[in-house]
Structure 1
Amino acid sequence: MLVLTRRAGESVVIGDGVVVTVIEVRGDGVRIGIDAPRSVRVHRAEVLEAVMAANAESSVPDEAAAATVDALRAIRPPTDPDAPSA
C-alpha cells in the first residue's frame, strides 16, 4: 500500500484519468473528491461489501420456495413455447 501525506487542495493522480483531491481535513475525518471517467466505478468499501454480501445471500437457494415451485410444476407442467399449438 502506498501511503502519502496530502494537505487540503492537494491531489493524487491514479492511472490515466483518476484524480483524488483532499477537499477538507476536519478532526479525524477527511473529505476527498474523486474525478474519474464514467467507465471507472467508484464505491465506498463498506457499501460494496454490503452489496456483495446481499448478492451472495440472495444466491443461496430457498428450499421452501423450491418446494413450492416443484409442487406447482406437478400440478401444471411448463409448456414449450416452441411447440406447435393444437
Structure 2
Amino acid sequence: MLILNRKIGESIIIGEDIEITILEVSDGRVKIGIDAPEDINILRKEIYIDITEENKKSLDIDSNVLDILKKI
C-alpha cells in the first residue's frame, strides 16, 4: 500500500488517465474528486462488496434451479 500526504487542491495521478484530487477535509472526513474515463467503474468499497455478494448468491440460486430442472 502506498501512503501519501496531500493537502486540499493537491492530486494523485494513477496510470495515465485517472486523477484523484483532495477537495475538502472536515471533521475527520476527506472529500475527494475522481477524474477518470467513463469506461472505468468507480464504486465505494462497501458497495462493491455488496454487489459481489449478491452476484455470488445469484449463482447459487441458478445452480440449484439447474439441479431441479435436471431431475424433471
Normalization by structure 1: what TM-score?
0.70
Q: Check 1:43–1:64 CA distance in 2 against 1; reply closer, same or farther (3 A cut).
A: closer
Count of residue correspondences: 71
C-alpha RMSD over aligned residues: 2.1
Listed as ranges, the gaps of 5+ residues in structure 1 are: 75-86
Q: Larger radius of gyration, structure 1 or 2?
A: 1
Q: Which has the higher strand share?
A: 2
Listed as ranges, the gaps of 5+ residues in structure 2 are: none
Q: Which has the higher helix share?
A: 2
* Residue aligning to 1:6: 6
1:38 CA drift (Å):
1.2
- Using the aligned pairs only, state the percent identity: 34
Normalization by structure 2: what TM-score?
0.83
